[in-house]
Chains A and B, each alone.
Chain A
């Protein structure tokens, strides 16, 4: 996609940071489609197989999206470069896990241009990855309600009618019970313990 991409970047960043749910989805889709070929080629050229591409790319965009949303991406580089660097890091980490050809990889690694606080990021990602697995353990209803409230930003009224709950208060209670059971799982697994200083 040839365009004045810093301008385009700003439009996507604005949508993710302060847009409506619809804007965010549109921005995410645009990001996905714009840079998929770039990352696909990169992975295939670096010992990756076509089966690796989707997972790595989705993991990359997850990080990118969250960095944009939280304002940690400051636009020091173009989004394209940013996505590329994140994808490299995730892919090389994956390769290191599975491959013994570390020497070759570290040779490629020297091209690295942008420094990111990745150790910290990785630690966070791992922990949240665990929580995502715990969410899978919740009932379908709970999963859907929590997603609607915290991800899709639906109000209690909408949740009440969508899930056939008698009143807004009942919806609220249900949501809290669901959140409670998730937090119970989280603390049971001791996920937070190492995080408190």
Chain B
């Protein structure tokens, strides 16, 4: 059987001599079963070829994606660089170089993904002045002061979800991840319009605290239609 296969293979690759080829072809015409095995082998060989080719194409595609992704990773702040202009570019570059030379890899990761959540809360004149002040500090990026304000407000107002959220983000911006984890986990236990955002920042808090396992669990729970899904996938990959 193996000999017959070998013979068919030689025929298909055109390496039979004239005499052998003629004998082969006359058998091909008279013997239907034989013709079927020839065709089966031809198809099998072509299938193997395509299988290999497809694998190679996939590898090239994956390689290109990898290059693209690493380009994005190196430039996570691209948009802001445009907005901020040349001065900001220089500042950030210097800051990044500074971080690269000083900080651990998880801190670097945190720095490339963390952006303080915008202040979306318009305070009314009827609001108490301590809250107003806290939000003002937050908008001016005085996160230490903002955190103090939100902390006392949280205690007074029985764990209001908005205050918990901004307290958590302020703590994170201030670099105190333990507090951020406290506030944001508390937020995750109550129903709030800030739940999705809260989870993203909670994951970042764990990244900053170097608790990769916990961070990964939270990131894994972020669904495609939720806040920062894309970034969460990227971050997950980087944490591996």
Contacts and interface: CB of A to CB of B under 8 A. Distances in A.
Do A and B bind? Answer: yes
Interface of A: 25, 28-29, 32-33, 36, 54, 57-58, 61-62, 65-66, 127-129, 131-132, 134-135, 143, 146-147, 150-152, 173, 176, 179-180, 182-183, 186-187, 191-193, 195-196
Nearest to A136: B51
A196 B39 contact: yes
A180 B37 CA distance: 11
A66 B50 contact: yes
Contacts of A179: 5, 41, 44
A186 B53 contact: no
B40 A151 contact: no
B206 to A, nearest CB: 30
B211 interface: no
A95 B134 CA distance: 55
A152 B50 contact: no
A127 B44 CA distance: 10
A152 B32 CA distance: 32
B60 A131 contact: no
Contacts of B47: 128, 131-132, 134-135, 182, 186
The prevalent SS among residues of A at the interface is: helix
Nearest to A132: B51
B57 A128 contact: no
A182 B46 CA distance: 12
B48 A183 contact: no
A132 B48 CA distance: 7
Nearest to B32: A196
Given A183-B37, A196-B36, A151 B48 contact: yes
A180 B1 contact: yes
Given A135-B47, A195-B39, A151 B64 contact: no
Contact of B64 (A33, A147, A182, A183): A33
B96 interface: no
Nearest to B1: A180
Given A28-B60, A61-B57, A62-B57, A127 B2 contact: no
Nearest to B52: A151
Contacts, number: 99
B100 interface: no
Contact of A191 (B2, B43, B56): B43
18 contacts: A32-B64, A36-B64, A58-B57, A61-B57, A62-B53, A128-B43, A128-B50, A131-B43, A131-B46, A131-B50, A132-B50, A151-B53, A173-B2, A176-B6, A179-B5, A183-B40, A187-B36, A196-B39
A54 B51 contact: no
Contacts of B52: 147, 150-152
A132 B50 CA distance: 7
Contact of B48 (A135, A180, A192, A196): A135
B51 A135 contact: yes
Contacts of A187: 36-37, 40
B51 A58 contact: no
B58 interface: yes
B233 to A, nearest CB: 14
Given A132-B54, A183-B41, 14 more contacts: A57-B61, A58-B57, A62-B50, A66-B50, A128-B46, A128-B47, A131-B46, A131-B47, A150-B45, A176-B5, A186-B44, A187-B36, A195-B39, A195-B43
B49 A32 contact: no
